[in-house]
Structure 1
Amino acid sequence: MVLNLSGCGFSGRIPGTIGSLLKLTTLDLSKQNLSGELPIEIFGLPSLQVVALEENKLSGVVPEGFSSLVSLQYLNLTSNFFTGEIPANYGFLTSLVALSLSRNYISGMIPAELGNCSSLEVLELRFNHLRGSIPGDISRLSRLKRLDLGEDALTGEIPEDIHRCSSLSSLLLDANHLSGRIPESLSKLSNLAVLSLSSNSLNGTIPASLSHIPSLRSLNLSRNNLAGEIPRLLGSRFNDPSVFAMNRELCGKPLDRECANVRNRKRKKLILFIGVPIAATVLLALCCCAYIYSLLRWRKRLRDGVTGEKKRSPASASSGADRSRGSGENGGPKLVMFNNKITYAETLEATRQFDEDNVLSRGRYGLVFKASYQDGMVLPVRRLPDGSISEGNFRKEAESLDKVKHRNLTVLRGYYAGPPDVRLLVYDYMPNGNLATLLQEASHQDGHVLNWPMRHLIALGIARGLAFLHSLPLVHGDLKPQNVLFDADFEAHLSEFGLDKLTTATPAEASSSSTPVGSLGYISPEVALTGQPTKEADVYSFGIVLLEILTGRKPVMFTQDEDIVKWVKKQLQRGQISELLEPGLLELDPSHQNGKSSC
């Protein structure tokens, strides 16, 4: 029995009555608006072979119950809100052919038990919060064709035994923290067509044996710490410079960067070509001069009739033969790079020397500039105000902040610390502005564009980002709509967190700092009195932001005697709930006015 309702627009929870379909073999509820946790009744369907639940809003920890479905061959939970760790008992699914858990909030390490899934051909875990190293047991999956572990937080080296996955055609390990060398054994993967190792910390040289993979048609080794000359055969086969870009020590074609050994060979040839004729000419001239000088001296002795007289060499000759050589060191101050990817000089050019016209925002942590680089990349660069924090402490705190990564937080991509007291932070660019601007634009729209679903997702994104900060633990200290930024998909990202330690030298200075804590209207009364931000105060600020999302009213619009919290309480006591919400939010969503969805 097959149940295929993909893309029909259903919402709500999956009913537990689905467990009565005991002969069900295929369950496809993908691309819906389903939410909540999975009913346990699904795990009692003995004939279930295919489960497709991707692109929903399902939540809860990754269910362990799927391990009881011994006939399961296909499991796809991509693009949901599942949390927790991947259950180790998934290793009992020996019939499983495809496991797709990408784009969730899954954490922890990849269980080594997955190496027992002997039938597995597809393993996709991209865009989660997985950490630790790639387990060597993955190499036991001899039928594996596609391995996608990109955009996680994996560390360690690429397993040398990965070549035992002899059927592998796609290996995607990009955007992690992998280190070490690229294994020579990758060349044994004769079926490999796609290899992406970009945005890691891989070092050493590129193995020349990669050019011997016959089926390789897509390669990306950019944004690493690779060095040396690009193998000539590989460079001619993949002649796009972006394949090898952002490796500072890499040289050769197709990069426009000549290798040192090539320059030395050219220099030696030039010396031989020019130096040998010049040396021969000089030697011949010296011989001629010596012969003439000897002849003249002999004639002079004959003429004077004097023998054995000592003659003094002219002083000018000795002084002319004495030459001094100038010595000096070629160089200058060493330039500190942004994660070895972007130079300070390039950033100065991209911001036009930090020109006022390029300012994106202003705050108590300095100005944020828009940096437009020559390759088309756009990044926001925060220039911190001059402070007393030392260069060493700044590097330590910036590298610590670089480890704070979450789907709903702005991610630190690089930093710069150099004299005189220049302190920069580089983030991902958020093209769709902030929540304050979005709410203001929405309040002036005739047909309300910021509808219920959008506001709900924005509030969820803020809550998840704040909860992750508190789990570290970190305190935000200034949660407000201006500090909620949106990426190209309008997903919320919290900004302006963890910057106190980058602007004050010691904890004592931080506690006694005269810098105001929080923002007017969003700060809790306790913090206003003590000046000390807390997790509880963050939750209070989140509540104020939530009220602003619902009511469309800014906290500063109220008088000193009546704030937004008191106003909301008064409306609730009067039973005037509709007066609380921003006009237009009580109207039906245009996509659901017909009372049904089309399949």
Structure 2
Amino acid sequence: MRKVFRNFLFLILSRVIIVTSLNPTLDDDVLGLIVFKADLQDPNGKLVSWNEDDDSPCKWKGVRCNPRSNRVSDLVLDGFGLSGKMGRGLMKLKFLRKLSLARNNLTGSIGVNLAQLSNLRVIDLSENSLSGPVPSNFFEQCGSLRSISLANNMFSGQIADTLVSCSALGSLNFSSNQFSGMLPSGVWSLRGLRSLDVSDNLLEGEIPRSIDGLYNLREIKLRKNQFTGQVPGEIGACALLRSVDFSENSFSGNLPSSLQKLSLCSDLNFHSNLFTGEITEWIGEMGSLQNVDLANNMFSGAVPNAIGKIQSLKVLNISNNRFSGSLPTSMINCQNIKILDVSQNSLTAFLPTWVFQLGLQTVKFSENKLTGSISGAFTSSNFISHQNLQVVDISQNELSGEIPSDIGKFSSLRILNMSKNSLTGEIPKTVGNLKVLDSLDLSVNQLNGSIPFEIGGATSLKRLVISQNSLSGSIPSSIETCPSLTSLILSRNSLSGQIPVAMSKLANLEYVDLSFNKLTGTLPKPLANLVHLVTFNVSHNQLQGELPASAFFNTISPSSVAGNPTLCGAAVNKSCSGVLPKPIVLNPNSTGSDPDLAPQILGHKKTILSISTLIAIGAAAVIVIGIIFVTVLNIRVRSTMSRSAAAVPLSGSSLSSSPGTDTKSGKLVMFSGELEFSTGAHALLNKDCELGRGGFGAVYRTILGDGQSVAIKKLTVSSLVKSQEEFEREVKKLGKIHHPNLVTLEGYYWTPSLQLLIYEYVPGGNLYKHLHEDEDANGISLTWNERFNIILGIAKSLAHLHQLNIIHYNLKSSNILIDGLGEPKVADFGLARLLPMLDRYVLSSKIQSALGYMAPEFACKTVKITDKCDVYGFGILVLEIVTGRKPVEYMEDDVVILCDMVRGALEDGGVDECIDERLQGKFPAEEVVPVMKLALICASQVPSNRPEMAEVINILGLIKCPSESLEESEQ
């Protein structure tokens, strides 16, 4: 291939030499582009018109020439689907003014110094996969450059100081890369700069006061970096600014009042920083503002009355601050406003009715201190003014009164959240008129009556949450007319009657919670058809009979079905009654068409066995024969097994060895070569040997011939497990993983219908028992040092797994085993790799018992699952270890989310109330509090905000031994 390529270039160069005297300049362009093309892959054939035999490239696709000189002036190949590298052929295009290769798949580094093209005005390499540092000489001769974009690539390193050489630069876009360090000081002296965008990088430092030199600046975007310090008052000198985005950094202090000089500014974004102080009346002077986002800071004081002067305002987001008082009524003058978010503040007074007369699309007042009735806001008199209202969130206030029936007239509503208030009365039947309603949350109120049958009219519902009220009556069968429903949460009411069969028609259901009600009857068998279920909680009702037969219900968490005394099945550890249905008596003389024959049939002395009875007898016979076969085979194994063999064929129904080569036999592999079992199949057949059950199967203890105990996990995912070849390949990889804080995989067993994993036996029980069940025989619980050691050990094990690109997926306290020395050993790691595909349904159905530990991205199908899911679970696990409380606890009239409880306690200064009472007075606060804060960071809702596990280990080291760490850093 290389020889062909060299011959190809030789022919081109030979041709150029021959015709140089005829037209040397044009051939430079042809040659340059053909050589440039040779470094690319063109799967879509976009460059098929580029022919080296042409005298001019001016008619080639993506090429534009200067009509006077016929030389290439523009090369625009945006979105051509090209891959490969940027070759040196571009350097032949001496008259090139615009180079745009955006939205392709180019890789590698920038290997050519494009700045040497003295006529080049525009460079756009955005949205590729280019990487590495940008060479410092790239900017050395860029005096003619007007615009450069390297956005959405993977460039790294520092931005070269030579950027100051681009003195004519008007637009600079380096966003969405991995640039680090400080911005070159020369950037702030580029007086011609109109647009500066370095958002979404790793840049740091402060904004210098010399920013006033950028008096031509129209747009500045520093979003999502690590900038610190205050916003300099000199920013007010940049009078032409239209857009300012300093969001998601660590800026602090007050916003300068000089911002009021930016009379042309339409977008002001400072969200997610550390700003403090008040927003005073100066904001009213910014008369062109359309979008204002000050969310997630520490602003305080009243919302300034001057906001009412900004008639152009369309979006106002001041959520998650410390604003107090009430919204100024002057805002009724903001007739263009569409989105208002003042949630998570300390606003008081009534819910302002005038807000609902502004034609808003989104209104969010959640998590404030509003009081009074809501009826005034949702009345027909306001209907005409807010036909466009799509989102209403007034949750977590102190609002009261009934939900007015006029709510059904707001036909555009998509999200309605009134949860966690003191609302009374019945759910209005008119909610069924909300045809585009996507989410309805009325939970944690004092609503009574029944769930209206008319709710089935809200056919677009995806999420229905009415838990923790005083609702009675039955679940309406009309729910079947909401085919998009994914979440149905009706727990902690007084609902009665049977679970409607109609629920089985909701094919998209994922999360169902009907717990703590008075439901009766059996679970409808068709529920087994709901293949997307993640959780299905019917605990603490009066249900009876068997669970539906499906992969999900066969492995459902016992806690999800607890508290139903007459419910039976493996999940509740209660065998179902052997009572058979009433026999069908067959009369061979009956055609089944004469009703008069019924008395003859009933009075017939000779009873004929029913079909179901015959089936039961046959099944019992098969079971008896199977047990005899297993027993005989096990005895035979003990007399013939070779201790030195590494792998032998086994019967598919036990651990016994078989010398035959029957195709139905399985294979046992012990990585250490040990094969002899003292208890053999007995360990799998005797419930006394069971250690526990999890999402992937039951675990039993058995003993090797030398007396060594092992734990055998009997997988219950046979229908999902990969082929034997893939299964063995993945298991052998897991068998090579060794770490002091990971449970060692000793071997495995395979048949198409039975898979076993053989682990080392850890005698000290699991962490869940140490934290939530009885203390040891001496009444002693885990000390703080023991808990810290467990936290550190878990962190080390996860860091080791992540280094091997293995995600645990199923982190929880019952999967943390404690050995005889008090060291933690993480179990169940890597089991998701045994499944054929890592989709959310398969994973969630296997790990639904770890609900409180599951990262929020599991519920969002568009977010990639990464090792940051483990970091989230680790954060919750740390809080569990420190507080001694479960991730989610159900009280009589409340549900306590551990993460929220700890976060609230830290904010209110009541952290001592969170710490496990068994530790009170026996812990160093200088260690416990930082550990809890670290846990909350790990449990951040945003994956990118969670640290790597290697960072967590370093931080734990600093927390435990700050003086030693300080000494090391000074040496």
Please, what TM-score do these two structures have when normalized by structure 2? 0.32
CA RMSD of aligned residues (A): 4.8
How far is 1:539 from its partner?
10
In the alignment, the residues of structure 1 paired with residue 178 and residue 238 of structure 2 have an alpha-carbon distance, to the nearest angstrom, of 28
Q: Secondary structure at the match of 2:248?
A: coil
How far is 1:247 from its partner?
0.8
Higher alpha-carbon deviation: 531-540 or 142-151: 531-540
**Match for 2:914 among 414, 423, 436?**
423
Partner of 1:381: 899
Contact 1:223–1:245 at 8 Å: present in 2 too?
yes
Contact 1:207–1:231 at 8 Å: present in 2 too?
no
Contact 1:62–1:85 at 8 Å: present in 2 too?
no
Equivalent residue letter for 1:18:
F
Contact 1:227–1:251 at 8 Å: present in 2 too?
no
Partner of 1:493: 947
- 1:496-515 matches, within 5 Å, as none
Partner of 1:179: 300
Q: Secondary structure at the match of 1:59?
A: strand
In the alignment, the residues of structure 2 paired with residue 481 and residue 210 of structure 1 have an alpha-carbon distance, to the nearest angstrom, of 41
**Match for 1:155 among 246, 260, 276?**
276
- 1:166-565 matches, within 5 Å, as 166-237=287-358, 243-253=364-374, 254=377, 255=394, 360-361=876-877, 365-367=882-884, 369-371=886-888, 380-381=898-899, 416=910, 422-423=913-914, 488-489=942-943, 492-493=946-947, 533-534=961-962, 536-537=964-965
1:348-368 deviation digits (Å, cap 9, x = unpaired):
x99999998758525652336
Contact 2:341–2:362 at 8 Å: present in 1 too?
no
Change (3 A) 1:497 1:46: closer
Equivalent residue letter for 1:366:
T
Change (3 A) 1:495 1:6: closer
In the alignment, the residues of structure 1 paired with residue 935 and residue 319 of structure 2 have an alpha-carbon distance, to the nearest angstrom, of 34
Change (3 A) 1:373 1:52: farther
How far is 1:16 from its partner?
1.9
In the alignment, the residues of structure 2 paired with residue 536 and residue 99 of structure 1 have an alpha-carbon distance, to the nearest angstrom, of 43
Equivalent residue letter for 1:14:
V
In the alignment, the residues of structure 1 paired with residue 909 and residue 951 of structure 2 have an alpha-carbon distance, to the nearest angstrom, of 15
Q: Secondary structure at the match of 1:219?
A: strand
Higher alpha-carbon deviation: 142-151 or 159-168: 159-168
Contact 1:153–1:177 at 8 Å: present in 2 too?
yes
1:125-163 deviation digits (Å, cap 9, x = unpaired):
011111111110111111111000001111000121111
In the alignment, the residues of structure 2 paired with residue 540 and residue 474 of structure 1 have an alpha-carbon distance, to the nearest angstrom, of 23
In the alignment, the residues of structure 2 paired with residue 54 and residue 140 of structure 1 have an alpha-carbon distance, to the nearest angstrom, of 27
In the alignment, the residues of structure 1 paired with residue 324 and residue 143 of structure 2 have an alpha-carbon distance, to the nearest angstrom, of 54
**Match for 1:61 among 171, 182, 188?**
182
Partner of 2:587: none
Change (3 A) 1:126 1:12: same
In the alignment, the residues of structure 1 paired with residue 302 and residue 164 of structure 2 have an alpha-carbon distance, to the nearest angstrom, of 43
In the alignment, the residues of structure 2 paired with residue 480 and residue 236 of structure 1 have an alpha-carbon distance, to the nearest angstrom, of 44
How far is 1:488 from its partner?
4.9
Q: Secondary structure at the match of 2:258?
A: helix
Q: Secondary structure at the match of 1:35?
A: strand
How far is 1:240 from its partner?
8.2
Contact 2:927–2:960 at 8 Å: present in 1 too?
no
Higher relative contact order (CA 8 A, sep 6+): 1
How far is 1:78 from its partner?
0.3
In the alignment, the residues of structure 1 paired with residue 273 and residue 966 of structure 2 have an alpha-carbon distance, to the nearest angstrom, of 27
Change (3 A) 1:13 1:239: closer
In the alignment, the residues of structure 2 paired with residue 111 and residue 224 of structure 1 have an alpha-carbon distance, to the nearest angstrom, of 27
Partner of 1:93: 214
Partner of 2:836: none
Equivalent residue letter for 2:228:
S
Partner of 2:126: 6
How far is 1:179 from its partner?
0.5
How far is 1:369 from its partner?
3.5
Contact 1:107–1:129 at 8 Å: present in 2 too?
yes
Equivalent residue letter for 2:184:
P
Change (3 A) 1:474 1:424: closer
Q: Secondary structure at the match of 2:134?
A: coil
How far is 1:63 from its partner?
3.0
1:49-98 deviation digits (Å, cap 9, x = unpaired):
00000000001123321122110000001000011111221111110000
Q: Percent identity?
A: 22
In the alignment, the residues of structure 2 paired with residue 74 and residue 378 of structure 1 have an alpha-carbon distance, to the nearest angstrom, of 48
Contact 2:177–2:201 at 8 Å: present in 1 too?
yes
Contact 2:210–2:234 at 8 Å: present in 1 too?
yes
Change (3 A) 1:539 1:102: farther
Contact 1:222–1:242 at 8 Å: present in 2 too?
no
How far is 1:492 from its partner?
3.4
Change (3 A) 1:51 1:225: same
Structure 1: unaligned runs, 5 residues or longer:
261-344, 385-393, 403-413, 426-471, 499-517, 542-599
How far is 1:40 from its partner?
1.2
How far is 1:415 from its partner?
6.5
Partner of 1:140: 261
In the alignment, the residues of structure 1 paired with residue 371 and residue 216 of structure 2 have an alpha-carbon distance, to the nearest angstrom, of 44
Contact 1:415–1:424 at 8 Å: present in 2 too?
no
How far is 1:473 from its partner?
13
Equivalent residue letter for 2:172:
V
In the alignment, the residues of structure 1 paired with residue 167 and residue 258 of structure 2 have an alpha-carbon distance, to the nearest angstrom, of 28
Give yes or no for the alignment of 1:129 onto 2:646: no
Change (3 A) 1:250 1:203: farther
Contact 1:55–1:78 at 8 Å: present in 2 too?
yes
In the alignment, the residues of structure 2 paired with residue 355 and residue 474 of structure 1 have an alpha-carbon distance, to the nearest angstrom, of 19
Change (3 A) 1:103 1:226: same
Change (3 A) 1:22 1:164: same
**Match for 1:50 among 163, 168, 171?**
171
Contact 1:476–1:538 at 8 Å: present in 2 too?
no
Give yes or no for the alignment of 1:18 onto 2:138: yes
In the alignment, the residues of structure 2 paired with residue 47 and residue 234 of structure 1 have an alpha-carbon distance, to the nearest angstrom, of 48
Q: Secondary structure at the match of 2:356?
A: helix
1:168-222 deviation digits (Å, cap 9, x = unpaired):
1111101111100011100100111000011111001111111221111110011
Please, what TM-score do these two structures have when normalized by structure 1? 0.51
Q: Secondary structure at the match of 1:228?
A: coil
Contact 1:475–1:497 at 8 Å: present in 2 too?
no
In the alignment, the residues of structure 2 paired with residue 103 and residue 205 of structure 1 have an alpha-carbon distance, to the nearest angstrom, of 31
Contact 1:197–1:221 at 8 Å: present in 2 too?
yes
Q: Secondary structure at the match of 2:271?
A: coil
**How many equivalent pairs are there?**
355
Q: Secondary structure at the match of 2:899?
A: strand
Equivalent residue letter for 1:6:
S
In the alignment, the residues of structure 2 paired with residue 15 and residue 173 of structure 1 have an alpha-carbon distance, to the nearest angstrom, of 37
Change (3 A) 1:153 1:250: farther
Change (3 A) 1:153 1:145: same
Partner of 1:560: none
How far is 1:231 from its partner?
2.6
In the alignment, the residues of structure 1 paired with residue 240 and residue 266 of structure 2 have an alpha-carbon distance, to the nearest angstrom, of 11
Contact 2:319–2:343 at 8 Å: present in 1 too?
yes
